[in-house]
Amino acid sequence: MDRKYIRNFCIIAHIDHGKSTLADRILELCNAVPRERMREQFLDRMDLERERGITIKAKAVRLRYVSRDKGQEYLFHLIDTPGHADFSYEVSRSLAACEGAILLVDASQGVEAQTLAHARLALEQGLTILPVINKIDLPSADPERAMREVEALLGPEHLPFTLVSAKHGVGVEELLERIIEFVPPPRGSEEEPLRALIFDSTYDPYRGVLPFVRIVDGEIRKGTRIRMFSTGKEFEVTGVGVFTPDMQEVESLGPGEVGYIACNMKNIQDSRVGDTITSAIRPAPQPIPGYRKVKPMVFCSFYPVEYESYENLKEALEKLQLNDASLVFEPDFSEALGFGFRCGFLGLLHMEIVQERIEREFGIEVVATAPHVVYQVLTKKGEVLEVRSPKDFPSPGEIEMAEEPYITAKIVVPSQHIGGIMELCQSRRGVFKDMLFLDEKTVLLTYELPMAEILLDFYDRLKAVSRGYASFDYEFAGYRPADLVRVDILVNRERVDGLSFISCQENAYYRARELVGKLKEIIPRQLFVVSIQAAIGGRIIAREDIPALRKDVLQKCYGGDVTRKRKLLEKQKEGKKRMKAIGKVRIPQEAFLAVLKTGS
């Protein structure tokens, strides 16, 4: 089909603003799914099925639409975007595969932080943005307010609003006509050397890794010898296809078209999101701009609850990795929890998804340690260390400079809660950047925050201080110098490795006191005094003593019943075995979990 009849677009929306329902209506209008197969949230169903390994997720659906106004048939590619800030890079690559974006806003909820972050990405990519107000049929709908908020975001010169009710199909056809009218057709040339943008990929048990691509220039078909720009690895294409939304092989993919490539690729690491595929025979001189290697930002360790499940856990992680190039893991050992895996994630949500899938799909119960970030340390010797664990953090004397990752947070909040949110951000070492009134009642706050500060309960606190109204989105803002120290815990003057943590200098004292206090509660009294100290280098910053026991809690022993006494002692012996002995002191597992909970 002629390129001028192709339109590539995506839908940007906050959760529950009706993205899936709108997609359903578009699929219906394009007769993509026979009526008897049409179910609600069709694309989402595919999602679930994919998780169970039955079919492959349609990340980009090819649709045919005959224009009401022009009478001409058009080819649409509706490209799905991941739904969370953790995947902002993936979002930006999906957007790069489109020329237009539908900015979908709930008429009763208005603009939320995530809509905003994605819309900004779309603007940066130079996409045509079609503002759409959804759910206009709801009694609580306030389309006027929603439109004012979108206007504050896009500026006065934006395309006209389309008012729809995706649920009832109102205004959807109008929207499709506007896509044809306003979203430009793809540029690019068949004559130029092949350049295709990878914006996602999936794993098929029979055909290996399938990269999802948007062709920019040139053409790709069965037999084409392709080369990955970032790695130089070459593959031979065994087939190309599109999603309609079922997988369908096609002859070739040309400029502007979106589909998948099968090329006997075994390792998902070879199909890097944002990478450019070119021809091995006639390579393009320049890749498509914007590629970067995805690096995990958040780390935590998973330990199987039953230590026999270690091998199963390994297998589960390997299987998940087949579909998820951004998941990394390596074996780990903890004094408290035994053998497990240290895993790297793009962000918190990514971590939660992986943990949930391990538990739900593979039936393995895991203990997850508190997430923490990766610190960068320049030593006095001139080495640059990436510190993923407190035990690798050098002592104060060896550090030339330490850096920690920062994020830029966008928080959309009703104006009466601004104070609470700002206090929260200040208390998390946030740096105020900007405040913008989206309308008289809704404010967009921009803050820069150390990533470590948002890892634990930031989101919960945010919801609490705003009575659930604040929405929050973030993106990685780079590494900034920070005054970081490692705090060691000494039990009877012996350092306990598993209890150390990294903190910024200003919080170190407070956190050390908190942890030492907790340990005093957790470590049982013993037959002698136990001292618990927190130290930075050689300097003690906190101390608590656990007094010696004075009397047994269990003492009774009847004359004849020696067997019971012996059994009790045997049972206690088992209990003691599970505790870590530091010198004469036994430390229960719980203590090691406590540091993970206060950690980061």
Binding site for other proteins (CB under 8 A): 526-528, 549-557, 559-563, 565-566, 569-570, 572-573, 576-577, 584
| Closer residue to other proteins (CB): 140 or 563 | 563
Quote the Cα angle for 456-460-465, to 5°. 130
By beta-carbon proximity to other proteins, the closer residue of 423 and 545 is 545
In the complex, least distance from residue 583 CB atom to other proteins, rounded to whole angstroms: 11
* Least distance in angstroms from the C-beta of 11 to other proteins: 58
Closest CA to 520 of 588, 583, 575: 588
According to DSSP, the residues that pair with 220 across neighbouring strands are 253
Instruction: Tell the smallest beta-carbon distance from residue 589 to other proteins (Å).
Output: 16
Q: How many CB atoms lie within 10 A of CB 458?
A: 20
> CB of residue 547 vs other proteins: minimum separation in angstroms?
8
Among 103, 102, 101, 108, CA closest to 144: 108
Taking residue 379's Cβ as centre, other Cβ atoms within 10 Å add up to 14
Q: How far is CA 148 from CA 17, 32, 107, 579, in A?
A: 17, 35, 11, 61
In the complex with other proteins, which residue's Cβ is closer, 433 or 564? 564
Closest alpha carbon to 321 in 296, 303, 297, 339: 296
Closer of 187 and 565 to other proteins (Cβ): 565
Which residue is associated with the tokens 């004012």?
A: 148
Task: Give Cα 301 distance to the centre of its chain.
Answer: 16
Q: How near is the Cβ of 338 to other proteins at its closest, in Å?
A: 20
Question: Which one, 230 or 526, has the nearer CB to other proteins?
Answer: 526
Minimal distance, residue 308 CB to other proteins, in Å: 18
**CB 549 → other proteins: shortest distance, Å?**
6
Least distance to other proteins, CB of residue 568, Å: 8
CB-based contact 50:38 (threshold 8 Å): no
Decide: 173 and 69 in contact? Cβ < 8 Å. Answer: no
What secondary structure letter does DSSP report for 394? P
CB neighbours of residue 283 within 10 Å: 17
Bridge partner residues of 170 (DSSP):
165
Minimum CB–partner distance for residue 586 and other proteins (Å)? 9
Contact yes or no for 98/28 (Cβ under 8 A):
no
Q: How far is the CB of 492 from other proteins (least distance, A)?
A: 13
Q: Which residue, 187 or 525, has its beta carbon nearer to other proteins?
A: 525
Task: Give whichever of 427 and 572 is closer to other proteins, judged by the CB atom.
Answer: 572
DSSP β-ladder status, 100-106 and 128-134: parallel
Residue 31 or 572: which CB sits closer to other proteins? 572
Q: Smaller CB distance to other proteins: residue 423 or 570? A: 570
Instruction: Output DSSP code: residue 238.
Output: -
Residues in the chain, overall count: 600
Please write down the long-range contacts of 433-441, taking CB distance under 8 Å and 24 or more positions apart.
Answer: 433/408, 436/152, 437/152, 438/110, 438/111, 438/148, 438/149, 438/152, 438/153, 438/412, 439/110, 439/145, 439/148, 439/149, 439/152, 440/415, 441/145, 441/414, 441/415
Cβ pair 324, 316 in contact under 8 A: no
For other proteins, which is the closer residue by CB, 37 or 556?
556
Question: 121: how many CB neighbours lie within 10 A of its CB?
Answer: 21
| Cβ distance to other proteins smaller for residue 384 or 548 | 548
Query: CA 241 to CA 222: how far, in whole Å?
Result: 10
Specify the residue for token string 């091995």: 280
Backbone angles phi, psi at 474, to 5 degrees: -145, 160
Residue placing its CB nearer to other proteins in the complex, 480 or 565:
565
Residue 460 φ/ψ, nearest 5 degrees: -65, -45
Q: Give the nearer residue to other proteins in terms of CB position, either 101 or 530.
A: 530
How far is Cα 300 from Cα 343, in angstroms, rounded to an integer? 6
State which residue, 540 or 562, has the beta carbon closest to other proteins: 562
Q: Are 398 and 379 in contact (CB under 8 A)?
A: yes
Report the relative pairing of strands 195-204 and 239-243 from DSSP bridges.
Answer: unpaired
Least distance from other proteins to the Cβ atom of residue 574, Å? 9
In contact, 276 and 233? CB cutoff 8 Å = no
- Closest to 72 measured CA to CA, from 4, 139, 145: 4
**Smallest gap, in angstroms, from Cβ of residue 480 to other proteins?**
49
Residue closer to other proteins by CB (options 381, 573) is 573
What minimum distance in Å lies between the beta carbon of 554 and other proteins?
A: 5
- β-pair type (6-13, 60-66): unpaired
Paired tokens of 408? 């830029």
Nearest approach in angstroms of CB 565 to other proteins is 7
Shortest separation between residue 450's beta carbon and other proteins, angstroms: 43
